[in-house]
Amino acid sequence: MEDEIVINEFPLIGDQFPFMEVKTTHGKKVLPDDYKGKWLVLFSHPADFTPVCTTEFVAFAKRYSQFKKLNTELLGLSIDQVFSHIKWVEWIEEKLGVTIPFPIIADDMGWVADSLGMLHPAKGTNTVRAVFIIDPKGVIRLILFYPQEIGRNVDEILRAVKALQTSDAQKVALPANWPNNELIKDEGIVPPAEDVKTAGERSKKYDCFDWWFCHKKLTPKKK
């Protein structure tokens, strides 16, 4: 008898984030409605009072003002009760001197994590380290998964938000390691030509390695 194939269904990049009401350390939140008009980084952690998760929360908290400048809010989640979250946040402030300014979802029944694909059976009953970046219209724009034993690079999540906003505003793709790419530095990649005429004109309008790989300087963001 062949093994049964199990298909896990959860929202994907480009999907509308599903409507849900959740308990948090800052009271009830309605997702994605309560964050309409803002970017949202929703991230799960395996459990409160664990070392790697603690380092991540400190890292997010220390960069919170940078996320705010990007019109971005943070929202944590784990399968713990709200009193556990509250006590852990108090411990971080008391012992480490860091205030956690953003809410944490108390998903003690696990239904939020399950519906978002944060539970990976091979990694146990706690959530893996998932990241969802959701845009102001409630559309999922990026998803990352890390195992429990590897802490996330919070600077990369901050970079990803900046990159998504820049791509949207300037209608370009962005290269590896942007804004410090080895080939084109902080420039943007021009969208592909859709016809022969446009392809032929590319090198006259942009800097190009070839007609299919053209790039341009980005317009400085207005202050």
| pLDDT score of 189 | 98
**The pLDDT of residue 9:** 78
- Tell me: do 130 and 43 sit in the same domain: yes
Domain that holds residue 37: 20-152
pLDDT of residue 211: 93
Measured on CA atoms in the order 12, 17, 20, 26, is the torsion positive or negative?
positive
Q: What is the pTM of this model?
A: 0.93
Measured CA to CA, the distance from residue 107 to residue 183 in angstroms comes to 44
Provide the pLDDT for residue 217. Answer: 97
Per annotation, catalytic residue among 22, 53, 119, 154 = 53
Say whether both 183 and 85 belong to one domain.
no
Asked if omega into 121 is within 30° of 0 (cis), the reply is no
Q: Return the CATH number at 188.
A: 3.30.1020.10
Claim to verify: residue 148 and residue 94 sit in the same structural domain? yes
- Annotated active-site residue 53? The verdict is yes
As given in the structure block, the two tokens for residue 198 are 């446009």
- Rounded Cα distance between 64 and 82, Å, is 21
Same domain membership, residue 76 and residue 148: yes
* Residue in 8, 5, 75, 1 with CA at minimum distance from that of residue 38: 75
pLDDT in tens, 107-116: 999 999 999 9
- Give CA–CA dist 45/131, Å, rounded: 9
- 39-44 and 29-31 beta bridge pairing: unpaired
Q: Does residue 176 share a domain with residue 72?
A: no
Q: State how many domains the chain has.
A: 2
62 inside domain: yes
User: By percentage, how much of the chain surpasses pLDDT 90?
Assistant: 89
- Residues (pLDDT < 70) of the chain are 1-8, 222-223
189-210 burial by CB neighbour count: b if 16+ within 10 A, else e? bbeeeeeeeeeeebeeebeeee
For the chain, how many residues are written?
223
pLDDT value of position 4: 55
**Strand segments (E) across the chain:** 20-22, 29-31, 39-44, 72-78, 104-106, 129-134, 140-146, 188-189, 207-210, 213-216
Q: Is 179 in contact with 210 (CB distance < 8 Å)?
A: no
Distance CA 59, CA 222 (A): 28
Cβ–Cβ under 8 Å, residues 137 and 117: no
Query: Quick one: CA dihedral 191, 197, 200, 206, positive or negative?
Result: negative
